[in-house]
Amino acid sequence: MMTPEFSRPVLVDQLPAKTSRRAIEAEPAERAAVARRLDLVELTSLVAMVELKPLARSGFIAVNGRLTARVVQTCGVSLLPVAAVVEEEFHLTFAPPEAMLEEAEEIELSLDAEDPPDPIEDGIIDIGEVVVEHLALALDPFPRAPGVTFEAPPEPEDEPETKPNPFAVLARLHPRKGGKS
């Protein structure tokens, strides 16, 4: 299992019965590691406000948050650095392993349906990893530097191809039998 670069574990059994709020911020070394993981030129800041709320006595935990990050990506056309501010809200649910087994039997996949709950692993929800995953989803997959546009290469003219026949080259190298050498 991968060790998260920005880990902020929360022990589920120590959560209060009401909503718990946590402000988290990545340190410089954590930001550098996350930048490498997400193929960023630089991650200059990563902060989030996360709320954890137990849902009745089900063992399910609702996790809601908002992240703000300052990133530098590489322009997909010019390869110039592109700075951006990413702000993203996220909402997900975590469930204990025993509930996950019950859920697995009942899951019907649909594009409109809510995502199934994520598993609570070893009694811990790593809210730092949740933030990094949602940052990855919020990044622009095709960043462009200001004013840069993609221009397709010109189409080749319809000229007949005059490639040499590879067998003609071989024929010149191989002496003919029974004829002239």
Residue 102 or 78, more confident: 78
Answer whether residue 145 shows pLDDT above 80. Answer: yes
Q: Does residue 85 form part of some domain?
A: yes
15 within domain boundaries: yes
> Does the structure show a pLDDT above 60 at 178?
no
Tell me the C-alpha distance between 6 and 25, whole Å.
9
What's the domain range around 61? 9-138
Would residue 22 count as lying in a domain?
Answer: yes
Residue 36 confidence (pLDDT): 96
Cβ–Cβ under 8 Å, residues 28 and 46 = no
Q: Which position has the token pair 């998260």? A: 4
The answer on pLDDT for 29 being more than 80 is yes
Q: What is the pLDDT of residues 91-110, one digit of tens each?
A: 999 998 887 665 555 556 56
Angle at 27 between CA 72 and CA 75, to 5 degrees: 10
Instruction: Give the residue-averaged pLDDT of 168-175.
Output: 72
Specify if 148 maps to a domain: no
User: What is the spatial distance between Cα 162 and Cα 116, in angstroms, rounded to a whole number?
Assistant: 59
Average pLDDT for residues 83-91, to the nearest whole number? 96
Query: Does 58 map to a domain?
Result: yes
Give, for 169, the enclosing helix (H) or strand (E).
helix 166-173
Mean of the per-residue pLDDT values for the chain? Answer: 86
Quote the number of domains for the chain: 1
